[in-house]
Amino acid sequence: MSVPIIMFFACALLAVLGAVLLILAREPIHSALALVLVMMSLAVLYLLLGAPFVAAVQIIVYAGAIMVLFVFVIMLLNAGVEERTDFSKIAKWVGVPLGFFLLLVTAVYLLHSSIGTTIATGVGAANQAADTRELSQQLFRQYLFPFEATSILILIAILGALVLARKDE
Amino acid sequence: MGFITQHPVLVVSLVKIAVLLFIVMTALAYLTWLERKVIARIQSRWGPYNVGAHGLLQPLADGLKFLFKEDMTPPTSDRLVYLLAPFLALSLALTAIALIPFGPPSVRVLGQSVFIISDVDIGLLFLLSITSIGVYGVALAGWSSNSKYPLLGGLRSSAQMISYEVSLTISVVGVLLLAGSLSFNEIIEAQRGYWLHFIPRWHVVPQIVGFLCYITAAIAETNRIPFDLPEAETELVAGFHTEYSSFKFAMFFMAEYANMITVSCLATILFFGGWLSPFPDSWTWQIFLPGAGLVLLGAYCAYDTVINMRGIAQIQFLVVTLLALGGGAISLYPPVASVIQGPFWFTTKILAILFFYIWMRGTLPRFRYDQLMSFGWKLLLPVSLANLVITAFVIIWPLLRHG
């Protein structure tokens, strides 16, 4: 067992654990924290794939900005404990088997694709060539238009949120 | 044994981490001592004086006091999160320090760099990512205490930290553009050299606006006066850590001081040339500066011991004197002197910034909450953005003109 493989399984387990906790926790803050756990484990997985920039951005954007806002809003609204409803019949009889089926399909796909072996052998961690400079050149030369289009979309969304939140006068 | 030979990086790193942890913990303790002494001097008081000579054993006494106090948990608190918050705050604050290069990478033992714990390609980005999740400690402490004042303090500080983090990050980008790298070593190397043969090429000169924005945002990020609204005692008792006692309170306290050190380290690296000496390399006598400084300190301590100290304090201070003189003598030995050059300058610069921090605390009153928010969003953010745009324009201008 090499260190990358141990790290991979530890973080993969943590990510799954966090995701399950996210659904099962009844206190909204606990759910939010579980989601932070998922984000952080994913960041480590990105590191193992040899993408430190993506890992850092994952932490800054998701764990450091978005989830902090979530926690902030939950605290501000003082959201109480969730109330459980009975599970719907459709979810029970169709959703659960379908979920397992999807899991199976993904597992079989990963077994036969190169992605799975790249992660598991930790080859990616040694291959740090995909550095920040290269990434930004791709982003600001080849994919400049989609990049700018996305940023304008986000700007529009922010403006929309402001308009919705503004009081009528 | 097989494991050690297979993973030398892991073992050496663990040793370095242990040593750094010890140094940082001691530094934290004595930072509180320094702060109390400086504030006392500003306010014409003595500060800690009775525990050890010049109060030098006060941090130890405080630490013991925290350990032996009753550890109370409010019965209505959310126990898990209540426990998690101080651990999160302290461990994140300490993790950030691991990324700091304390000296040149050329000093090596067993092929591993001595002064650099982890040389990450995108060190700066990682440091920012770790500080960005530092908010959780404060926010969760405020929420899990399940009490009014901590909640208000937690809310305030989350809002404050989110707001000032934006300015902090943007004010740093100007330096990134100048250095063209996210790696701390490359950022420091970019500051090597001199203008007019004597002004060091530190980024603080072209990026003075960026530096002012950075240091302001940094003080707000670490919740220090004049931005210590989260723990404004006249309004909120003690803010987010009102319900914490004993060692859990001490952990928040240590996290705050560790964050101060991190922020000062970052300022040193980004704007003041990190471990580079301010003097040109041709001034060869400068390698004796650390030793000479320690010997001078020892001489002053000796004078103080003989003239001012009586009884047990005299013996205690004699030990300090001998330590300073001995350290100075070792540091004057040329091979040692050249090795400790980097850490010496780095520490000196950090101490200067920390002193500035404490000086601010002794001088400025606290902001009002709305002033804090409007200052952050309406002044600091636009100024740092303008600084970024102008820097980018100045860098790209020659390229545009020639082609």
The radius of gyration computed from the CA coordinates of chain A, to the nearest angstrom, equals: 20
**How far does A60 lie from chain B, in Å, by closest CA?**
5
pLDDT at A118: 61
pLDDT of residue A122: 53
Question: A168: which DSSP letter?
Answer: P
Residue B232 has what pLDDT?
A: 63
Closest approach of B129 to chain A, Cα-based (Å) = 5
Which of B323, B269, B266, B267 shows the shortest CA–CA distance to B294?
B323
In chain B, what is the greatest distance between 2 CA atoms, to the nearest angstrom?
A: 77
**Bridge partners (DSSP) listed for residue B116:** B101
The alpha-helical segments, DSSP class H, found in B43-134 are 58-68, 79-97, 123-132
Bridge partners of B108?
Answer: B113
Chain A residues with CB-CB distance to B122 below 8 A: 52-53, 56, 132
CA-based nearest distance B29→chain A, Å = 29
- Smallest Cβ distance to B121: which of A29, A64, A128? A128
B239-294 pLDDT tens trace: 777 778 778 888 888 888 898 899 999 999 988 888 888 887 777 777 788 888 88
Confidence at residue A151, expressed as pLDDT on a 0 to 100 scale: 93
The model's pLDDT over A83-111, given as tens digits with 9 standing for 90+, comes to: 777 667 777 788 888 989 999 998 888 88
Domain co-membership, A3 together with A72: yes
Same domain, A50 and A61: yes
DSSP B224: -
CA-nearest residue to B152 within chain A is A76
Question: What residues does B200 pair with on adjacent strands?
Answer: B194
Same domain, A93 and A119: yes
Alpha-carbon gap: A87 to the closest alpha carbon of chain B (Å):
27
pLDDT at A116 exceeding the cut of 70: no
| A72 closest CB neighbour out of B129, B144, B158 | B158
Task: Select the more confidently predicted residue: B333 or A155.
Answer: A155
Q: Do A45 and A103 fall into the same domain?
A: no
User: Which domain covers residue A24, as residue numbers?
Assistant: 1-82
From CA B223, how far away is CA B263, in angstroms rounded? 12
For residues A58 and A98, membership in a common domain is answered with no
> Which stretches in chain B have pLDDT values below 70?
1-7, 110-111, 229-235, 403
Query: What's the pLDDT at A146?
Result: 92
Kind and range of the H or E run holding B383: helix B381-402
Structure tokens at B45: 């008081």
Same domain, yes or no: A106 and A161: no
User: Do A11 and A36 belong together in one domain?
Assistant: yes
Chain A nearest-CA distance from B205, in A, is: 26
Pick A38 or A74 by higher pLDDT.
A38
Whether B133 has its CB under 8 Å from any CB of chain A: the answer is yes
Sign of CA dihedral B228, B233, B236, B238: positive
A27 shares a domain with A61: yes
Residues A18 and A57 in one domain: yes
Q: Does B162 touch chain A (CB under 8 A)?
A: yes
Q: Do B132 and A65 make contact, defined as CB atoms within 8 angstroms?
A: yes
- Whether residues A29 and B7 touch (CB distance < 8 A) is answered with no
Q: Pick the residue from chain A with its C-alpha nearest to B160.
A: A72
Which residues are within 8 A (CB) of B111 and not within 5 positions of it... i.e. 6 or more apart?
Answer: B8
Query: Which chain A residues are Cβ-neighbours of B139 within 8 angstroms?
Result: 68, 71-72, 75
Q: Which chain B residue's Cα is nearest to A52?
A: B122
Side-chain-side CA neighbours of residue B350 (13 Å): 28
Interface contact flag, A60 B125, Cβ < 8 Å: yes
- Let me know: does B270 contact B193? Beta carbons within 8 Å: no
Tokens read off for B109: 């033992």
The residue from A48, A66, A82 where one domain ends is A82
Number of domains chain A contains: 3
pLDDT for B274 equals 82
- Assess whether pLDDT exceeds 90 at residue A2: no
Residues A77 and A1 in one domain: yes
Alpha helices in chain A (DSSP H): 3-24, 28-48, 52-57, 67-77, 89-90, 96-112, 114-121, 123-126, 132-137, 144-165
Do A5 and A53 fall into the same domain? yes
A60 to chain B: closest CA residue: B129
Any A CB within 8 A of B182 CB: yes
Neighbours of B172 (CB within 10 A): 27
Of A27, A36, A56, nearest to B122 by CB-CB distance is A56
Q: Can you tell me the distance from the alpha carbon of B292 to that of B332, in angstroms, rounded to the nearest whole number?
A: 7
Coil, strand or helix: which one is B271? helix
Q: What is the DSSP track for B122-171?
A: THHHHHHHHHHTTHHHHHHHHHHTTSHHHHHHHHHHHHHHHHHHHHHHHH
* Residue type for position B358: I
The tokens of B52 are what? 């050890």
Same domain? For A91 and A144 the reply is: no
Of B10, B125, B136, the CB nearest to A53: B125
Q: Return the HEC string of B235-257.
A: HHCCHHHCCCCHHHHHHHHHHHH
pLDDT at A139: 83
Distance CA(A116)–CA(B292), nearest Å, equals: 59
What CATH number corresponds to the domain at position A16?
A: 1.20.120.1200
